[in-house]
Chains A and B, each alone.
Chain A
Amino acid sequence: MAYERNIGETILSVDQISLSFGGVKALSNISFEVKEHEVFAIIGPNGAGKSSMLNCINGFYHPQEGTVTFKGQKRRRVRPSEAARSGIARTFQNIALFKGMSTLDNIMTGRNTKMTTNIFWQALHFGPAMREEAEHRTQVEKVIDFLEIEAIRKTPVGKLPYGLQKRVELGRALAAEPDLLLLDEPMAGMNLEEKEDMCRYILDVNDEFGTTVVLIEHDMGVVMDISDRVVVLDYGKKLADGTPDEVRSNQAVIDAYLGVSHDDE
């Protein structure tokens, strides 16, 4: 649908990030900016450093050089839990759910950063803790409704097909009501129909809640369709960034993706 989207100020800026593991340079000197309400994609071949980049943003890795600025706060070393509390939620390339727990409980864990009562009250399940749980449950039910997974509410996630597990993982990230949503290959291993569904959910999240989305994806078609802007990494270096059209016609990108036979798409 063609309509004006409300792209705001810069919410996340990555400045001169370099990350190495021993002698391996995973990222060198990467900079880009993500604006509020944007769908922003990081693409690149295998081993390009895409997941490392996400890990730097949510504080799982600490880059040797450079800074990440989120909502105006510049930081060098931040723990993942602090990043989560500041409004960043993510999903993982290999699904990281609690297989034995139900969909509902898994999504409930996404509310963890929002819980205020201490473990003592929660264990008693009485008074403020009970009230709080009801509130969190309401929020979780909204996510379940949004992702249309009512039918699997009580199903252990280990029993679900892969595509649905991915959706549950997205649900858990959404339950945290994030300002910035990091999606690590949300469509990997999905069939066409599942991919279309997932695209729709990502766009709906972005549209309904105004959540900024940064995603990594291999499927070029998907990326070009849903992203506002794209950054291309290769061997830890930035090849290009810009709108999908700009990136698509960039010679360096074509080379990296298709080898050096200079075919047009």
Chain B
Amino acid sequence: MGDAGQSHSALDTFPKLLIDNARRIVDRPAIREKDYGIWQAWTWSEMRSEIAAMAAGLHAFGFKRGDSLAIVGDNRPQLYWAMTAAQALGGIPVPMYQDAVAEEMQYVIEHAEASFAIVENQEQTDKMLEIMDRCPAMKEIVFKDPRGMRHYNQSHVRSLEGLMEAGQKFLSENPGWFEAEATKGSGSDTAIMLYTSGTTGRPKGVVLSFDNLVITARNGVEWDHLKETDEMLAYLPMAWVGDNIFSYSQSYVAGFCVSCPESSETVMHDLKEIGPTYFFAPPSIFEGILTQVAIRMEDASWINRKLYAYFMDVANRIGPAILDGESVSFMDRVKYALGNVLIYGPLKNELGFSRFRVAYTAGEAIGPDIFDFYRSLGINVKQLYGSTEASVFICMQRDGDVKPDTVGPPATDVELKIADSGEVLFKSPGVFQSYFKNDEATRETKTDDGWVKTGDAGYFDGDGHLKIIDRAKDVGKLNSGTMFAPKYIENKLKFFPYITEAVLFGNEKDYAAAFINIDLEAVGNWAEKQGLAYSGYTDLAMRDEVYDLVIECVNKVNVDLSEDDALSGSQIKRFLVLHKLLDADDGELTRTRKVRRSTVSERYGELIDALYSDVQSCLVEAQVTFEDGRTGTIKADVKIREATMIPVAQREAAE
């Protein structure tokens, strides 16, 4: 592992790790990008030169120790370099979500007091220029891609190329300057500030030190035996702590190569070409891929469908056992090997999953069917539980000890306890320093004796694995006194391919009721097969046939719930299919696609009232924001249906 050169304590910042890697694994690729159709790679020593030039360039244009550097764009090598360059200068990189609108960015830039911004292209430059006069600290905007930029002649807008040329010049006059600057930092310094997307209120700037990130990353590297020969695809937003750990911190610590996709639309292609060995994806992506596979198999020829069905059945039965190293009969092994040649191998290759050694999923609960699908193919998908405040890792599953409904035992050096309220608390080397300029919030989250509140409710199962049920504050009670865990039920609903989003209501109400968003692709495909014509999402969502489809899913969830003693009372009584998709642009979801409950209840108040009356339909109008920023309204007559509730003996006895 990455400890051959110097001792860990000397390599306590990313600039130091960079210099060490450039000396130790000189010619190994550090980062790749597909440009003009060809994968271009930079070795660790080449990357070091680029970063040195960038740091010198920043210095030459007046970036000082302690300054903040805003970074906006897709995953690009130059933007990752910008983080190290700023860190080498003792500055603080602040990566931001690239699809945020200008106003959202303004808040972060103002709050972080960023003085420089390095952005990807014209689109992001325009956003910066729009908010610049409201952000007094902002001095310089540096753009990476010169396309369309030739008529921008503002004195404070410059190209990254120009900045790096200036840096080269400075370096040739001051040899050794970069090393000297890079070694000034130490582990306790602030490494980065990450703004959480915030399901409630304004985003908070989480301050993480080098120690937080480097030690946490190193623990993760050791946990999964990551080496410099591993490969990672960097495709998730740079503003997200996960990307920072997986594609940046762990790459520096283990020395593995990170590949940046050509564009956000080509990720699946690029995944296939790179064939990463280490991978992270939120459950939604694993779900999306499975839906794609299912849809394509439905269109396959009869013989292919039969083969697929047979061998997937074999895989479901014995695949997970093989992966967990349990004993399997000889005949089964032969069948699995045959399946591997005919189905699993080609399928994994098609998806770009052939070389996966370790793949993680986190953020939301993953459907057991989806999880088992991948594991049965021999793909080592595991779950972890983490947060920005912990520099990601809190719990993670060990190879060979994987379950679909838990997030695993505590990670290395992490202490966990469950508060009386059911809330999960932790202590770890990754515990954040503070929320930037927000002591009140820091005190609320970090107790005096060092425990950090996660805000999640959970419990340990018999094997010491943590099981998360819901956000602690969202767990409520029905009027009957039964526990009501909305997220838990929503997830159960979302595990059906036809349902993409669900919002549950029930706290302090008589019964549980639900809003449902159908999955346009899956239901659309189904509708096509039924010969059902529709003009768009709204039209499709209003169909009785679709309601029939959804009610089956809801009924199955009710059956599931009825088997759980604690939650059987919270079966869904009434539901409706929303006339529009909940959307981040309308503020109904966060940028990481979590439901903003308060916004939804505010906006659809009349629908909620309708769920708790006995009307059969409700006329509504909703405002939608189109991609170009214009707004319009959708009018619809939303139908409400009753689901079948399974009577529970216990409850009846109690009443």
The interface of chain A, by Cβ under 8 A from chain B, is: 1, 3, 137-138, 141-142, 144-146, 148, 150-151, 153-154, 193, 204, 207-208
Contact = CB atoms under 8 A, between A and B. Distances in A.
Interface stretch (B144-152, B173-181, B319-327, B491-499): B144-152
Given A141-B36, A141-B37, A145-B36, A150 B266 contact: yes
Nearest to B269: A151
Given A150-B266, A151-B265, A151-B266, A142 B36 contact: yes
Contact of B148 (A141, A145, A154, A204): A204
B38 interface: yes
A148 B37 contact: no
Contacts of A144: 36-37
B6 interface: no
Interface residues of B, number: 14
B262 interface: yes
A148 B628 CA distance: 18
A156 B151 CA distance: 37
Contact of A207 (B37, B150, B262): B150
Given A3-B151, A208-B147, A153 B263 contact: no
A142 B148 CA distance: 15
B263 A151 contact: yes
Nearest to B37: A141
Interface of B: 35-38, 147-148, 150-151, 262-263, 265-266, 269, 628
Given A141-B37, A153-B37, 13 more contacts: A138-B36, A141-B36, A141-B38, A144-B37, A148-B263, A150-B265, A150-B266, A151-B263, A151-B265, A151-B269, A154-B269, A204-B147, A208-B150
B262 A150 contact: yes
Nearest to B268: A151
5 contacts: A141-B36, A141-B37, A148-B263, A150-B265, A151-B269
A174 B265 CA distance: 23
Contacts of B35: 145
Contacts of A138: 36
Shortest beta-carbon contacts, A-B, top 9: A141-B36, A151-B265, A141-B37, A3-B151, A151-B266, A150-B262, A150-B266, A150-B263, A1-B151
Interface of B is mostly: loop
Nearest to B35: A145
Contacts of B628: 193
A154 B272 CA distance: 14
A10 B136 CA distance: 48
A3 B628 CA distance: 24
A204 B150 CA distance: 11
Contacts of A154: 269
Nearest to A146: B147
Nearest to B150: A207
Nearest to B36: A141
A206 to B, nearest CB: 12
Q: Which of A151, A193, A207 has the most CB of B within 10 A?
A: A151
Contacts of B269: 151, 154
Nearest to B264: A151
B513 to A, nearest CB: 37
Nearest to A200: B148
Contacts of B263: 148, 150-151
Contacts of A1: 151
Nearest to A143: B36
Contacts of A207: 148, 150
A204 B147 CA distance: 9
B3 to A, nearest CB: 39
A145 B263 CA distance: 10
Contacts of B36: 138, 141-142, 144-145
Contacts of B147: 146, 204, 208
Contacts of A137: 37
A42 to B, nearest CB: 27
A246 B504 CA distance: 61
Contacts of A146: 147
A166 to B, nearest CB: 18
A162 to B, nearest CB: 18
Contacts of A153: 37
A159 B151 CA distance: 37
A145 B269 CA distance: 16
A208 B122 CA distance: 14
A151 B269 CA distance: 8
A136 to B, nearest CB: 12
A153 B262 CA distance: 12
A204 B121 CA distance: 15
A151 to B, nearest CB: 4
A150 B37 contact: yes
A193 B151 CA distance: 24
A196 to B, nearest CB: 8
Contacts of A193: 628
Contacts of A142: 36
A169 B36 CA distance: 19
A190 to B, nearest CB: 15
A118 B362 CA distance: 57
A251 B628 CA distance: 36
A1 B149 CA distance: 11
A151 B264 CA distance: 9
Contacts of A148: 263
A32 B592 CA distance: 56
Nearest to A138: B36
A120 B148 CA distance: 41
A138 B37 CA distance: 8
A37 to B, nearest CB: 14
B40 to A, nearest CB: 12
A3 B154 CA distance: 13
A83 B35 CA distance: 33
A39 to B, nearest CB: 16
Contacts of A3: 151
B274 to A, nearest CB: 15
A265 to B, nearest CB: 23
A208 B148 CA distance: 8
A193 B628 CA distance: 9
A220 B151 CA distance: 27
Contacts of B151: 1, 3
A170 B537 CA distance: 32
A141 B36 CA distance: 5
Contacts of A145: 35-36
A208 B145 CA distance: 13
A150 B265 CA distance: 8
A208 B149 CA distance: 10
A1 B36 CA distance: 28
Contacts of B37: 137, 141, 144, 150, 153
Contacts of B262: 150
A61 B263 CA distance: 42
A238 B150 CA distance: 37
A139 to B, nearest CB: 10
A141 B38 CA distance: 9
Contacts of A150: 37, 262-263, 265-266
